[in-house]
Structure 1
Amino acid sequence: MSHAAARGTSIPEPTLPEQIARKLRRDILRGVLAPGAAVKERDNAARLGVSRTPMREAIRILAKEGLLMLRPSRSPVVAQPTFREISDWVEVLLALETLSAELACRHASAAEIADLRRITASMDARFDIADPLDIFEIDMRFHTGIARASHNAALAETHGAYLARLWRARFLSAAQRRNRARVVTDHSRILDTIEARDGAAARSAIDFHLGHLAEDIRAAIEAEESAARPPRDLQSGE
């Protein structure tokens, strides 16, 4: 992420590889491309109606994000991080989110705060009618916006990297715990602390919002694994 992006200036339109990466990312989050599944360059290029060159670049983008694992002379596969890895990433992300909010209390402009308010209002208005994946992306825009409002390019870039690694795990958790009132209230509370320039309150609000994330993800992963297992009578061959 550039200094311009970190400081809240306009973001250029996504390139074709970035657009393809978004489509593949959404397929990964929905489970169309399941953990461990091979992502074949030729097949996916044909499926999405694009050439192999931008598809290859899109795969590199997702590999950099940690959603795909590259393999020598073989198709990449959808990443399958262990819960221990996910838990470690969550711990780092929580520290980054907290620091982002504290710095945003010092540096966020009125325009940046207003934009975060619009994101929260959009989530509130669309929560019950939009695709859950669209709502999740709005949610992630909120957290990315706070990192950018820190006006610290290194922090915003690092936050983006860890957020990307956790996208699938966080989407599973969000899908399991759809609660508009809780999410919108938490986001509004975080914004209130930033607007009040109260760093200590911002830290507390972030911890309240995300402090349970690792356990929520564990529960979501266990629910997904349980749903994928065949019934006991099929396992026993009865």
Structure 2
Amino acid sequence: MADKNIWLSKLKQEGAVSPRQSLAEEAADNLREFILLEKLAPGTPIPERDISAALGISRTPLREAMRQLVVEGLIEYSSTRRPRVADPSLDEIIQYIKVLAALEALGGGMACIEASDAEIEKILELNDLMASNRINDPLEFFRLDMQFHSLIVEASKNEPLIETHRQYNARLWRARFISSRRTTGRETTLSEHMAISEALKNRDVLKTEAAMKSHLFTTIENISEAKAKGETNET
């Protein structure tokens, strides 16, 4: 309870809503980060009154934000209709990652054919930024990692694929963050991103598909080991 009060107080001091976003969009962004960093742990009821007060908004936009996160699979409703943080089983996470691996492999292969040179260059530049020593914050590194994957799928120019990927990826953010923050996670991510980047630069469809799929299956190994070692509750 004390820890919850500390981060809620800090959130209130830092200010709530950017004028560039709606109240609900900003609340949704905050809730995603709370869940990602386990400031709201899996299975925990959502303290609507506390969060709305800390964000300086009414409960109406907060509930709109929660409805969006229900769609994304990050929040669920209990049998008593109380909102709580979703707590998927390891098997459920693995099944979603397998689908995501297929989606990203397809997106990577299509990007080899459809992407412009400028789009590929942007992806390579992002990979170079991640490989530099300038990104020390694990959360910022993770966000760049997710951007790397999204840019590749977006370069496929296939809207149904892009939207389906967005939905599945949203459900797996926390699992992928747990994988990313492990001791060897960053080193492995960079090595595998390099293989993806090389294949994409050469527009090699088969190698890009294989590299993308292999990269996602590393996430399965990482999250399985993290669960087994009890690392999933670290913040």
* TM-score tier (shorter): 0.7 to 0.9
What SS class does the counterpart of residue 76 from structure 2 fall into? strand
Structure 2, unpaired ranges of 5+: 1-19
1:173–1:217 Cα contact (<8 Å) kept: yes
1:108–1:149 Cα contact (<8 Å) kept: yes
Aligned residue among 105, 110, 123 for 1:103 = 110
1:152 matched to 2:158: yes
Pairs within 5 Å for 1:195-206: 195-206=201-212
1:8 paired residue number: none
Q: Deviations over 1:60-116 (max 9, x none)?
A: 111111000034764310001111111110110110010000000110112211221
CA distance in 2, matches of 1:19, 1:186: 33
Q: In the TM superposition, what is the alpha-carbon distance from 1:153 to its structure 2 partner?
A: 0.5
Q: In the TM superposition, what is the alpha-carbon distance from 1:174 to its structure 2 partner?
A: 1.2
2:178–2:232 Cα contact (<8 Å) kept: no
1:188 paired residue number: 194
Structure 1, unpaired ranges of 5+: 1-12, 229-238
Q: Which amino acid aligns with 2:227?
A: I
CA distance in 1, matches of 2:46, 2:184: 30
2:135–2:141 Cα contact (<8 Å) kept: no
1:221 matched to 2:224: no
Pairs within 5 Å for 1:1-238: 14-71=21-78, 74-125=81-132, 129=136, 131-224=137-230
Give the CA RMSD over aligned residues.
2.2
Q: In the TM superposition, what is the alpha-carbon distance from 1:117 to its structure 2 partner?
A: 2.0
Share of identical aligned residues, percent? 41
TM-score, structure 2 normalization: 0.83
* Aligned length in residues: 215
What SS class does the counterpart of residue 77 from structure 1 fall into? strand
TM-score, structure 1 normalization: 0.82
